[in-house]
Amino acid sequence: MERYYFAVVVLVLSILSGSVILSQNKKEIRQKQRIEQFIKTKQIVDSMNFEFVADRALPQGFQPIELTANPNYTRVSDSLVSAYMPFFGRAYSTTGYGEDEGMKFENKPFKDYKIEYNDAKLTIRITFKVEANVDVFRVAFDINYDTSTSMNVTSNNRSSIVYQGELRVLNNDEKNNDK
């Protein structure tokens, strides 16, 4: 009878230790995949040719707004930025009723461009400033390892707004459309 209990205990322990080893292996595999994705995301950012497309806007003090039916983009190409982003929120100073176009400009040079890599958290932060029309936009991208991105925009004449979406490589056709 003791041999039976001993055999059952050994069997149970071997099963439990095997499942612990398998779960550790799954975690290691997931972490390795995240690191590989992070390396690809770094390459996109380092190329200085990328596009952010938002699927949601989070205006300050308002409900989230789905943007899947609204065309939008922010393109960074070499030392220029183009944007076609809708604005929802409070405007403090505008050019006139109905003339506010949101964050829309083409091929503007940016200033104070900074990239910060956080290898421990697998995130990237990009910040820069753009002067367009009569406004100055301060843009901050918070990019995750899998290219999911949050873009925070503050300006002199409007309340801040956050966009959530994806970062991707800018192809040659899109680069040429901006010029």
Question: Which three-class secondary structure state does DSSP give residue 62?
Answer: coil
Identify the pLDDT of residue 179: 45
CA of residue 48 relative to chain centroid, distance: 15
Which residues lie closer than 8 Å to 87 by C-beta, 6 or more apart? Answer: 59, 100, 102, 103, 158, 161
Contact 153, 144 (CB under 8 A): no
Distance in angstroms (rounded) separating the CA atoms of residues 50 and 98: 31
Pairing of strands 161-169, 65-66: unpaired
pTM of the full structure: 0.77
CA of residue 73 relative to chain centroid, distance: 12
CA of residue 26 relative to chain centroid, distance: 26
Segment 125-162, tens digit of pLDDT = 999 998 877 788 899 999 999 989 999 999 887 788 89
Identify the pLDDT of residue 88: 81
- Check residues 108 and 16 and name the one with the higher pLDDT: 108
Identify the pLDDT of residue 15: 65
Identify the pLDDT of residue 135: 81
Domain limits, the chain: 42-178
> How does residue 122 score in pLDDT terms, banded at 50, 70 and 90?
very high
- What's the CATH code, domain 42-178? 2.40.128.410
Residue closest to 128 by CA, chosen among 55, 45, 70: 45
Segment 23-77, tens digit of pLDDT = 567 888 888 898 899 999 999 888 889 999 999 988 887 888 888 888 898 899 8
> How does residue 89 score in pLDDT terms, banded at 50, 70 and 90?
confident
pLDDT over 50 at 103, yes or no: yes
Contact 80, 102 (CB under 8 A): no
